[in-house]
Structure 1
Amino acid sequence: MTKSIIIIGSGFSSLAASCYLAKAGYNVTVVEKNSTIGGRARQLKKDGFAFDIGPTWYWMPDVFERFFSDFKKKPSDYYSLEKLNPAYSVYYGKEDYITIEDTLEKIKIAFEKEEIGSSKKLNKFIEKAKSNYDIAIKDLVYNPGVSPLELVTPQTIKKLNQFFSTIKRDVRKEFKNDRLVKILEFPVLFLGAKPSDTPSFYSFMNYADFGLGTFHPKKGMYQVILAIEALAKELGVTIKTEMPVDKIIVDNGETLGVISNGKTYRSDIVLSGADYHHTESLLAKPYRQYSETYWNKKTFAPSSLLFYVGFNKKLINVNHHTLFFDVDFDIHAEAIYDNPKWPENPLFYASFPSKTDDNSAPKGNEAGIFLIPLAPGLKDTPELRKIYFNKILDRFENLTSQNVRNHILFKKSFCINDFIKDYNSYKGNAYGMANTLMQTAFLRPKLKSKKVKGLFFTGQLTVPGPGVPPALISGKLVADLILKHHTT
């Protein structure tokens, strides 16, 4: 008899898992609390503008290719991809920025201009990062985080010291120029922890950045969600929106389905791609694996204050992706991780998709997304959002030498309260649980419940961790685990 499975949430992990499970013969239903699918990767449309609400960076194209190839498909069957040149620029002061272009050779030239001799060091650093990437992305991250032995391979034994050194130590040992250091430390922020708390092995993110490059799917990241939705439907998956799950039904230690909008939906298996902490709150206490103390002690990736802004003119002196590192990173990081508070002078990131993509804004206009990383769990008020928008806009106008304030058609904000309301996100975190040494692989919350038979988890709080490519991988890992434990 065909087994049925209910998947909670419709983000990257849930949709990916739904495809693998439907292909294996399961009767799969995805239930989503919001009115549109995509989880954190939803889209905002307003007055002819289109914004990706969540992820805006398309890195590690090989992971997307590997996902689609598992179904004898290619990303290009669903969306078109453009390699960005420049990939991004980084501001340090007024009209003072470094541009990161689309090949390692061009990036080496930019480095050499900053620090003589740095291009050779960069070459060596990226070679090591590529070696880590080959081990991590082609092998290690496709392990389900069940046993410490997953990390023990002939390749990783040779790199054991890299699990006990940090990105910050490695980068600063080789590079003395502070501007270059900031660029090399930036990619690990996607993993949700400070460079000083991120194992050296994660330098594979630098290879993703400089070696593989930054891409943009035409019409935005939401096209990737729509692509996986189309694939899921081709495979027979049913997707239902506006179906928040109120309770996971457990009888005698076994899951029987879920209750949504007051109705009971039976299934043999329940898989949750919703926030892990929230999912466990849908269970009676004896069936929860992790206590409030457990969650409270974990290092969470930042939350974010985001602004989606429509401008009635084209902006100058910015690229599709632009980082603003004109203030002290360590002080901002302290306000996120060590002493959680609203940062005095925040670093911020801005994305202008309409620099690349005409679908993002009406002709002659510009779509802008601004992001300030914040500690999760902070007080979030309209007044604070307004103060911080003015802070970063003042700096933005000064650094890029242009007036933009008088050209704003509209702005919408999204912050901690919205992450909680829209995604049931623990403390309003944006990226899940950080990939620190003590939160890597088998040390993360498990894909399979130890207390409830037939209950599984996927997404950024479990393995492999934060980010879009890891989310796709998480969907595959949990599907494999379900197939291993529950054959149809």
Structure 2
Amino acid sequence: MKKNIYIIGSGFSALSASCYLAKAGYQVIVLEKNKTIGGRARQLLKDGFTFDIGPTWYWMPDVFEKFFADFGRKPSDFYELEKLTPAYQVYFDKADSITIPGNLEGIYKVFEEEEKGSSKHLKAFLKSAAYNYDVSINDLVYKPGASPLELVTPVTIGKITQFFSTIRTQVRKHIKSKKLIQILEFPVLFLGAKPSNTPAFYNFMNYADFGLGTWHPKGGMYKVIEAMVDLATSLGVEFRTDANVQEIKLNTDGEVNGLVVNDEVIETNIVLSGADYHHTETLLPESFRQYSEKYWDSKVFAPSSLLFYVGFNKKLEHVSHHTLFFDTDFDAHAKTIYDTPSWPEKPLFYASFPSITDASFAPNSQESATFLIPLAPGIKDTPKIREHYFKLIVDRLELLTNQKVEEHILFKESFCVNDFVKDYNSYKGNAYGLANILTQTAFLRPKIKSKKVKGLFFTGQLTVPGPGVPPSLISGKIASDSILKTYKNETII
């Protein structure tokens, strides 16, 4: 009989780990508390419209390729990718926007038109970013975060100063245009931190942006989830939905010996949690938790979000598939997220209009739209507040893009702090996990392997390597490697 492993949650990291563990010969059972697989990357279907509830950006395609290649497959075996041209559009004022092309030469031209001489500095910046990306992907991000020595390699020693400088300092050293600065600083938002707190080494996200490009899986990001489920199923992984894990049971020696799921006891000696790390530890007796409430409260979290999923009865004008609205003060908004947790008075926001690229997202001549405002986790969330901010961003959308949209809304659904807590047991309703600042990087993040409970492991955004979809795929591999290493001398069958 195969040795079984139960995985809590079915997001990207959990699905990744399930595939690696099943390939290694384990019987893997994935437990998902919600009705559908995918964790934060679920899908909303309504009145002929389709919405990706969670991630909408497909960056770092090489990480997806590497994942599927580990199983002798490739993304194109499961879904069709299209490189977006333009990659995205950024609004700064009424009818004042910059469109980022889908190729480097076009991007250099856009920069030069905005600020003479800036393309030269951009080329130097991206050369450094490309090098850091290679170092990160090949030397760092697949490490388990067990020791500071993981960061010390012949390559990284020469880059040590970049861990003590910041993205903001690096970007503003030569570029003066406020618009170009905002474009170069925005990718680190995917790491969940302010540019002023993010080490310069993380400029590799700019290479992910400009160098590797922005892609769209036909049918949306949920197609990637479906692909991973298909792969996992072919490897023998079992999926159980509506399966709420209420307790992790331990024996007298502090070893995992079971789970309580929907009030029933299931025997197992190995548990991997892809659910919220803080929540998972609340399923244990307090004395077996590695991190206290004080610890979690002291951490810098990536933002939560207020999201709206909107169906329009017409095609919208003057917007791109991915459109950013940076017509307000970024620093003022960031302060409400990281310094004084509160609702922003004039928020920046992001909008995705996937039906511009992919007709499957909306009925003919109509538009599917997702709007996102990044927020501090843990702030008050009420229907009245949500309505206020929906009205605010619709008014801004109309003004900035010079068109009427409110009268063309068929419906809207919202998702915010309370929903992140209810649906994902997310600590304070955060959306992206722990921010990737210097003091929360690599070995300074919560550990993959529990130090107090034998047989308990973790994966996902609160552990290594950090926030985002590609890092989640990597986290699943790191966690599976840790399990395989721990039990390498035990017979599986």
User: Match of 1:291, as an amino acid?
Assistant: S
SS in structure 2 at match of 1:461: coil
Q: Measure, in 2, the Cα distance between the counterparts of 1:255 and 1:98.
A: 54
Asked if structure 2 preserves the Cα contact closer than 8 Å seen for 1:446 and 1:457, the reply is yes
Asked if structure 2 preserves the Cα contact closer than 8 Å seen for 1:447 and 1:463, the reply is yes
SS in structure 2 at match of 1:165: coil
Q: Measure, in 2, the Cα distance between the counterparts of 1:471 and 1:274.
A: 12
Residue by residue over 1:182-235, the C-alpha shift from the partner in whole angstroms, topping out at 9 and shown as x without a partner, is 000000000000000000000000000000000000000000000000000000
Asked if structure 2 preserves the Cα contact closer than 8 Å seen for 1:6 and 1:257, the reply is no
Asked if structure 1 preserves the Cα contact closer than 8 Å seen for 2:320 and 2:353, the reply is yes
Deviation at 1:266, TM superposition (A): 1.1
Deviation at 1:138, TM superposition (A): 2.1
Q: Measure, in 2, the Cα distance between the counterparts of 1:185 and 1:262.
A: 48
What's 2:126 paired with? 126
Asked if structure 1 preserves the Cα contact closer than 8 Å seen for 2:142 and 2:478, the reply is yes
What's 2:428 paired with? 427
Normalising by structure 2, what TM-score? 0.99
What's 2:93 paired with? 93
Structure 1 segment 137-216 matched on structure 2, within 5 A: 137-216=137-216
SS in structure 2 at match of 1:174: coil
Are 2:62 and 1:62 aligned?
yes
Deviation at 1:94, TM superposition (A): 0.5
SS in structure 1 at match of 2:284: coil
Structure 1 segment 275-424 matched on structure 2, within 5 A: 275-424=276-425
Asked if structure 2 preserves the Cα contact closer than 8 Å seen for 1:309 and 1:369, the reply is yes
Deviation at 1:7, TM superposition (A): 0.1
Q: Measure, in 1, the Cα distance between the counterparts of 2:468 and 2:139.
A: 17
Asked if structure 2 preserves the Cα contact closer than 8 Å seen for 1:420 and 1:426, the reply is yes
Deviation at 1:3, TM superposition (A): 1.4
Deviation at 1:265, TM superposition (A): 1.0
SS in structure 1 at match of 2:173: helix
What's 2:43 paired with? 43
User: Match of 1:35, as an amino acid?
Assistant: K
Residue by residue over 1:267-300, the C-alpha shift from the partner in whole angstroms, topping out at 9 and shown as x without a partner, is 1200000000000000000110000000000000
Q: Measure, in 2, the Cα distance between the counterparts of 1:420 and 1:104.
A: 40
What's 2:229 paired with? 229
Deviation at 1:87, TM superposition (A): 0.3
What's 2:31 paired with? 31
Q: Measure, in 2, the Cα distance between the counterparts of 1:53 and 1:257.
A: 32
SS in structure 2 at match of 1:142: coil
User: Once superposed, which parts of structure 1, at least 4 consecutive aligned residues long, lie more than 6 Å away?
Assistant: none
Residue by residue over 1:27-66, the C-alpha shift from the partner in whole angstroms, topping out at 9 and shown as x without a partner, is 1000000000100000000000000000000000000000
Stretches of structure 2 lacking an aligned partner (at least 5 in a row): none
Q: Measure, in 2, the Cα distance between the counterparts of 1:234 and 1:337.
A: 43
Asked if structure 2 preserves the Cα contact closer than 8 Å seen for 1:246 and 1:261, the reply is yes
User: Match of 2:366, as an amino acid?
Assistant: N
Asked if structure 1 preserves the Cα contact closer than 8 Å seen for 2:49 and 2:311, the reply is yes
Deviation at 1:139, TM superposition (A): 2.2
Deviation at 1:486, TM superposition (A): 1.1
Residue by residue over 1:427-476, the C-alpha shift from the partner in whole angstroms, topping out at 9 and shown as x without a partner, is 00000000000000000000000000010000000000000000000000
Q: Measure, in 2, the Cα distance between the counterparts of 1:261 and 1:231.
A: 27
What's 1:446 paired with? 447
Q: Measure, in 2, the Cα distance between the counterparts of 1:180 and 1:192.
A: 20
More off after superposition, 136-145 vs 314-323: 136-145
Stretches of structure 1 lacking an aligned partner (at least 5 in a row): none
Q: Measure, in 1, the Cα distance between the counterparts of 2:267 and 2:28.
A: 12
What's 2:81 paired with? 81
What's 1:465 paired with? 466
Normalising by structure 1, what TM-score? 1.00
Deviation at 1:137, TM superposition (A): 1.3
Are 2:184 and 1:219 aligned?
no
SS in structure 1 at match of 2:223: helix
SS in structure 1 at match of 2:141: helix
Q: Measure, in 2, the Cα distance between the counterparts of 1:146 and 1:232.
A: 28
Q: Measure, in 1, the Cα distance between the counterparts of 2:258 and 2:472.
A: 24
Asked if structure 2 preserves the Cα contact closer than 8 Å seen for 1:307 and 1:413, the reply is yes
Residue by residue over 1:99-147, the C-alpha shift from the partner in whole angstroms, topping out at 9 and shown as x without a partner, is 0011111000000011000000000000000000000012210100001
Residue by residue over 1:314-361, the C-alpha shift from the partner in whole angstroms, topping out at 9 and shown as x without a partner, is 000000000000000000000100011000000000000000001100
Are 2:254 and 1:261 aligned?
no
Q: Measure, in 1, the Cα distance between the counterparts of 2:119 and 2:357.
A: 29
Asked if structure 1 preserves the Cα contact closer than 8 Å seen for 2:33 and 2:242, the reply is yes
Asked if structure 1 preserves the Cα contact closer than 8 Å seen for 2:255 and 2:269, the reply is no
Deviation at 1:384, TM superposition (A): 0.2
Deviation at 1:174, TM superposition (A): 1.6
| Alignment RMSD (CA, Å) | 0.5
Q: Measure, in 2, the Cα distance between the counterparts of 1:260 and 1:36.
A: 17
Deviation at 1:257, TM superposition (A): 2.0
Aligned residues: 488
SS in structure 2 at match of 1:139: helix
Q: Measure, in 2, the Cα distance between the counterparts of 1:139 and 1:351.
A: 33
User: Match of 2:241, as an amino acid?
Assistant: T
Q: Measure, in 1, the Cα distance between the counterparts of 2:313 and 2:88.
A: 23
Q: Measure, in 2, the Cα distance between the counterparts of 1:222 and 1:27.
A: 25
Q: Measure, in 2, the Cα distance between the counterparts of 1:13 and 1:267.
A: 21
Q: Measure, in 2, the Cα distance between the counterparts of 1:174 and 1:16.
A: 40
